[in-house]
Chains A and B, each alone.
Chain A
Amino acid sequence: MSDTSNQPTADPKVSGATEGVGRSAIDQSIRIPVLVLAGAGLLWLVWGTVLALIASFKLHTPGFFGEIEWLTYGRVMPASVNALVYGWGVNAALAVTIWLMARLSRSELRHGGILITAAIFWNAGVDVGHWGILIGYSTSVEWLEMPAYVTPLLLVAYIMMGVWGVLVFRYRRNPHTYVSQWFLLAALFSFPWIYSVAQIMLVFAPVRGTVQAVINAWYVQNLIWLWFTPIGLAAAYYFIPKVLGRPIHSYPQAVLAFWSLIVVAGWSGMARLVGGPVPAWIISSGVVTGILLLIPIVITAINLHMTVMGNVREVWNSPTLRFVVFGGIAFTAAGLIGSITSLRTLGVTTQLTHFTSGLTHLGFYGFFTMVMFGSLYFVVPRLLDKEWPSASLISLHFWCCALGTAIVVGSLFIGGINQGLQMNDAGAYPEFIDIVRNTLPYLLSRTVGVILITLGQLAFFTSFVWILLRPRTGKVTDPTLFDSSSALKSFAP
């Protein structure tokens, strides 16, 4: 492998053969680290979703596991969120990041053993941390509930993983950078900064009063917009053109979306504090930047839409694209809804209600998670040199997740708006318990959605284990598509 990889690659567009050899060496170097990250992420996804299902059940049937202290709603819900965000989210994001970065930079990952070791420490930390929440050491800081005894370990483990993405970029053989790489760099760099600031100022040396609430909102918003969003968009900007075999509609627009997102995202979280106990200018800054977020959202939506336009059939037939494009649509929806509900007049109704959970769900499940699924459907066969065993299992996965997410988000949106309208009308609904009762049908239908999502995750998990264990046939097989007659075959490498 060293013979070819030590030579600088010529223009990859010209010398296809060199590119081919280099690519297999690159895939070889990242195979185990990426599979370890993806596998760990999937275990977390299943476990976190089971916890979410328990939590969802408890909300309309409080007696469900009611006697067990460690499964009380106030613990099982944050434990589920932490398992999904730091277990599934960070593992999957890093798996896709390392793979994308290596492919786009045309450089190998060296000393992958350190990355694997760091990943083991990260997962051990999240494991201990989420059990810490369940047994009573929660910090009760939103999205940072894991106890202080694991968070320094998590930060070090993260840096040891994230630095590999930066190093692969630093030693790139391809002199041209692509916007996906920028997004990935932004995410890799943002996490340690926001995480360490939030840990120190909220947990280790807490600041005074509601400055804590401001920093918490800053952290959560940055994690969404400067970690999960850029990685999801990096994948979308790579996989959609890649699988369709055509360039992105407008590259300058992608660059504009990148810079506008990076500049305004950090401020936009303050809108959720509307009416709250913080200085008014802070909330105003959140409202203004919340509206400015429309720039990257609309540009990205148009750009991805124009790239896909005319290729709907190919998108539908490719597992990767079906998931990634669903994610792109969910990104647009979540972004637009988040942006307009940062306006005071609307935000006052939706804030502090189930609506906000619905929005987080739409962003995290509908956008980020679906894009990660699509990416893994592309990445895993190439690392293993095998194809997915069952197209119907992939189809089951897609429909369960798509319908489940739609039901969950729909329930929380409608239930949340009702809840907000009633909560803000003390004359018609003086008793809060009546408002609680009125949310019950929506909480029940949410559970139906979460059951579907759980089934979908199990289907994907089955696929993943199956492809890992499946013997390699030795001959080159066609990629698994929903419709084998598709013209897409010629494009998918």
Chain B
Amino acid sequence: MNNGPLIFFGIFLSLALSWLGLVVANNVDADFGGLGPHMDEATGMTVPAQMPGLARQGLRVYQDLGCATCHTQQVRREGFGADVERGWGSRQSVARDYIQQSRVMIGSLRIGPDLMNVGERIPLPEWHHQHLYDPQVNTPGSIMPSHAFLYEIRKVKGTPSPNRVPVRGERAPPDGYEVVSSYRSQALVAYMLSLKTPYDLPEAGSSDE
């Protein structure tokens, strides 16, 4: 076959098929690309709820630090791994869980644990601040890098700062000094705490089962 246009047409058609089938079709699919929140008849609430403003800022911090390089946000369905048994979620994650996220970072590599429901698993802001400042404090042996650059070590003047992070271990500040969280770390922790799916969806099965 020496016909340039014919070869070109074949290539065009092949690429167009996967583009139409996977990209375009899914995007216009009302049950996938067009998914809206679910109205829970019992409580009268729509889920998933919108993310709080600070958490939205935190998503940008999560994105710029590249957390998704090591952390996934997806609980695989039962029978596919042991994510539920591991306590990473009470049910599988479904497409609707993500519709409030401006950037969906389900991730593809678990160098660290899954974070789909970390806000439910560890609902303590202080823990997250400690963990970001020095992962060794709460998780000895962790290979997560310290994010101490998100914090400031400064001299205590009068009363301690309300944003003070109590830190033990190697990275503890000297006497008279304190570790204080920045706006970025507060936003990131707000985002961590917003990561949870404490509601049922018809397509996901009940969380009580």
Inter-subunit contact B22/A218 (CB<8 Å): yes
CB <8 Å contact, B105 and A277: no
- The answer to whether B64 touches A282 (Cβ under 8 A) is no
**Residue A214, interface by CB 8 Å:** yes
Which residues of A sit under 8 angstroms from B2, Cβ to Cβ?
A: 175-177
Once the chains are docked, how many angstroms separate the CA of A272 from the CA of B109?
11
Cβ-closest chain B residue relative to A77: B69
> A360 CB to closest chain B CB, in angstroms?
10
- Distance A93 CA – B34 CA, assembled complex (angstroms): 38
Question: How many angstroms between the C-alpha atoms of A479 and B75 in the bound complex?
Answer: 57
* CB neighbours of A440 from chain B (8 A): 143
Structural contact, B32 and A211, CB atoms closer than 8 A: yes
B32 and A279 contact, CB distance less than 8 A: yes
Picked from A176, A282, A424, A443, the residue with its CB within 8 Å of the CB of B22 is A282
Assess whether B113 is interfacial by the CB under 8 Å rule.
yes
Distance (whole angstroms) from the CB of A247 to the closest CB of chain B:
17
Asked if B66 and A182 make an inter-chain contact with CB atoms under 8 angstroms apart, the answer reads no
Q: Which of A207, A272, A426 contacts B27 (CB 8 A)?
A: A207
**Chain B 70-113: CB-based contact to A (< 8 A → 1; otherwise 0):** 10101011011110011100001111111101111111111111
Chain B's closest residue to A262 (CB) is B14
Q: Is the interface of B mostly helix, strand, loop or mixed?
A: loop
Complex: how many Å from CA A266 to CA B110?
25
Could you say which of A116-124, A350-358, A462-470 contacts chain B? A350-358
Encoded as 1 (CB less than 8 Å from any B CB) or 0, chain A from 122 to 163 comes to 000000000001001111111001000000000000000000
Q: Are B147 and A209 in contact (CB under 8 A)?
A: no
Please provide the chain A residues from 161 to 186 with a CB less than 8 Å away from any CB of chain B in the complex.
169-170, 175-177, 182, 185-186
By beta carbon, the residue of chain A nearest B109 is: A352
A423 in the interface, Cβ–Cβ < 8 Å? yes
Q: A67 vs B150: C-alpha distance in the bound complex, in angstroms?
A: 10
Contact B22 A72 (CB under 8 A): no
Query: Do A182 and B7 touch (CB < 8 A)?
Result: yes
Q: Which residues of A contact B70 (CB under 8 A)?
A: 73-74
Least Cβ–Cβ distance between B144 and chain A, in angstroms: 7
Closest chain A CB from B36 CB (angstroms): 9
Does A437 interact with chain B (Cβ within 8 Å)? Answer: yes
- For B92, the chain A residues whose CB sits under 8 A away are 275, 277
Please give the distance in Å from A80's CB to the nearest CB on chain B.
11
Q: How large is the interface on A (under 10, 10 to 19, 20 to 34, 35 or more residues)?
A: 35 or more
B18 CB within 8 Å of chain A: yes
Give A60 Cβ to nearest chain B Cβ, in Å. Answer: 7
- Closest Cβ neighbor of A226 among chain B residues: B15
Select A423's contact among B23, B81, B94, beta carbons within 8 Å: B81
Least Cβ–Cβ distance between A424 and chain B, in angstroms: 5
Residue of A nearest to B93 (CB): A277
- B177 interface hit (Cβ, 8 Å): no
Task: Check if B95 sits within 8 Å of A197, measured CB to CB.
Answer: no
- CB neighbours (8 Å) of A214 from chain B are 22-23, 26
Q: Given A186-B11, A272-B108, does the pair A72, B147 have CB atoms closer than 8 Å?
A: yes
The answer to whether B22 touches A209, judged by C-beta atoms less than 8 angstroms apart, is: no
What residues on B are CB-neighbors of A218 within 8 Å? 18, 22-23
Q: List 29 A-B contacts (CB under 8 A).
A: A68-B149, A72-B145, A73-B69, A75-B64, A78-B69, A140-B68, A169-B4, A189-B8, A189-B11, A194-B15, A207-B27, A209-B32, A210-B32, A210-B104, A212-B103, A212-B104, A215-B22, A255-B1, A275-B77, A275-B80, A275-B92, A279-B31, A348-B76, A352-B72, A419-B110, A423-B81, A424-B82, A426-B86, A443-B143
**B residues whose Cβ falls under 8 Å from a Cβ of A:** 1-2, 4, 7-8, 10-12, 14-15, 17-19, 21-23, 26-27, 29, 31-35, 62-70, 72, 74, 76-77, 79-82, 85-87, 92-99, 101-113, 135, 139-149
Given contacts A75-B66, A140-B63, 13 further A-B contacts (CB under 8 A): A72-B65, A72-B145, A74-B65, A185-B8, A209-B32, A215-B22, A266-B14, A277-B95, A279-B95, A348-B76, A356-B108, A357-B109, A439-B111
Binding site for B on A (CB under 8 A): 58-60, 62-63, 66-69, 72-75, 77-78, 133, 136-142, 145, 169-170, 175-177, 182, 185-186, 189-190, 193-194, 197, 201, 206-215, 218, 222, 226, 255, 259, 262-263, 265-267, 270, 272, 274-279, 282, 285, 344, 348, 351-354, 356-357, 419, 423-427, 430, 432-433, 436-437, 439-440, 443
Q: Which 10 A-B pairs have the closest CB atoms?
A: A74-B66, A266-B18, A275-B80, A275-B76, A426-B85, A426-B82, A140-B63, A69-B149, A212-B104, A136-B64
